[in-house]
Amino acid sequence: MGIIKRQSLKASIVNYAGVFIGVVFFVFIFPHIISKEYLGLINLLQSVTLVLVSLPMLGLTHILLRFYSEWKSDDTAAHFNAFSMIVMGVSLLLFVVSYYLCKGPVIAFYQKESPLFLVYYLMIIPLVIIQAYTQYFEIFALAKMRVAVPAFLREIVLRLLLITLVYLFAYHFLSEKHFVYGFVLVYLLAFIALLIYIVKGLQFNTGRARAYISNPHFRSHMLYGGGMLMLIVFSNISNFLDGIILPAYLGLGALGIYARPLVLGQMIQVPYRAISLISIPVIREAIVENNMQKVKQLNKDIAINLFLIGCFLFTLLVSNADGIFGLFPAEYIVGKQVLYIIAAGRLLDMAFGLNSEILSYSKYYKYTIIFSLVMMCLTIMLNVLLIPRYGMNGAAMAVSVALIVFNVLKTFTIWRKFHFHCFSRHYLSLIAIAALSILILHFIPMLQFMEHHMFLNSMANIAFKGTLGAILFLVPAYLLKVSPDMNDFIKLLITGKIFKGGHKMEHL
């Protein structure tokens, strides 16, 4: 089995296991044991950290990923690592000073609706520092095509530590202050484990920063990194701005409710994240070799599989919305529309294939920066306009609309510059199958499997509709042969070869 498919399979398994753990505890259990305000506080700390962390990283991870394959024969990678560690250290110091000086505007922004956040305002500083180095080492692992262990630490270990922390707080073993401090400590422990793996397992080493600065390509690398810095800043603001603005208008409790269906809707993209990450090195090398036919075929093959999985998960989510919200406290029902809006936006995002990856690693990467700026401005404008009018539904609409516009712009540019796209007639088949499945399941009411037990009854309905929905979707998808990969996989399951090792997976 090729390294790409091996690592992709392992990362996908880890990601889905992590999502399962996260959904069970963070989405369904935690609303019953801690208040929505504390859930909102956790989400706000995470959102602010993820937006700010890109600033002190200065696009260095993108330089590493883009040019690493060209450095394998010499010590340039080691010199670049030394350069990055020093530059990130200095930029993080400047970030700490700047963040502290911005305390006044932050207080004015959150004081009315979310004063609890202001008590722990400075906790963002250690979180940003930890996340900056964590992301650099994760990208180093990605450049070496080793994503399974970092994914395990991020998706499994970190979540288990957070779950333990929340339970300790919920059952009064920790005070509020110790709970928030523990939140930072958990991220630090996960980072230490990652650092040990990177140094011991992947032989991370550093050379001389001056040697990298004297590299004849230093200026072009820095220009590329600067462009990618703008790209990631714009993208992070677009992706997490709703979680930052919403509590300023509606309070931390509203964010605590909003984030539950938000996470569920984003589950649709789990396979995209795993597959796109491990596909990046292949796309990068194919573009360097000017093998656009390989890029075209890879994009087309992956896109139909991603859209198939996305349509399948969208069908199950939408059809089980009533059962899903039966698992929440009654006040969380106001977030039901958020699930529909976010899921639709993420499904359409998957439908456009690997357009971000293709543009970002081509000579036309500047278009992605421009489009990301457009997306960021559109996201800010829509959040400010829609949240006061439509509440949390407005935040969901802002995210989804901006995401769709972003994808249309990227796909149109790829079609103009490279003369290919990822769409095929099978997209129409998948849309028809999903629509018909949702329509049929819509007319099946919530059944009373268990009297006077709403939680277990909701679980039983989800299991029943989920099984029926899987049959309604997968059978026609298999018969219409919308994805050769899915059909081959199902044949392996039917024959039992997948359990006996009697099959081969070709290299990508």
Mean pLDDT on 275-293: 78
- Mean model confidence pLDDT for the chain: 85
CA distances from 379 to 265, 360, 376, 387, 397 (A): 18, 21, 5, 11, 9
Query: Helix, strand, or coil here: 451?
Result: coil
The sign one gets for the Cα dihedral 405, 406, 407, 413 is positive
Q: Give percent of the chain with pLDDT exceeding 70.
A: 91
Residue found under tokens 């006996």: 500
Residue found under tokens 């969208």: 314
- Rounded to an integer, what distance in angstroms lies between the CA atom of residue 277 and that of residue 295? 15
Instruction: State the pLDDT confidence band at 359, using cuts at 50, 70 and 90.
Output: confident
Asked if residue 6 has pLDDT above 60, the reply is no
Q: Is 210 exposed, middle or buried (0-12, 13-18, 19+ CB in 10 A)?
A: exposed
The predicted-structure confidence for 190-239, as pLDDT tens digits, reads as follows 999 999 999 888 888 888 888 888 878 888 888 888 888 888 888 888 88
The CA dihedral of 22, 25, 28, 30, to the nearest 10 degrees, is -130
* CB distance 130 to 192 below 8 Å: no
Asked if residue 9 has pLDDT above 60, the reply is no
According to the model, what pLDDT value does residue 216 have? 81
Asked if residue 110 has pLDDT above 60, the reply is yes
Q: Where are the alpha helices (DSSP H) in 197-291?
A: 209-213, 218-250, 252-266, 270-288
According to the model, what pLDDT value does residue 339 have? 94
The predicted-structure confidence for 365-409, as pLDDT tens digits, reads as follows 788 888 989 999 999 999 999 999 999 999 999 999 999 999 999
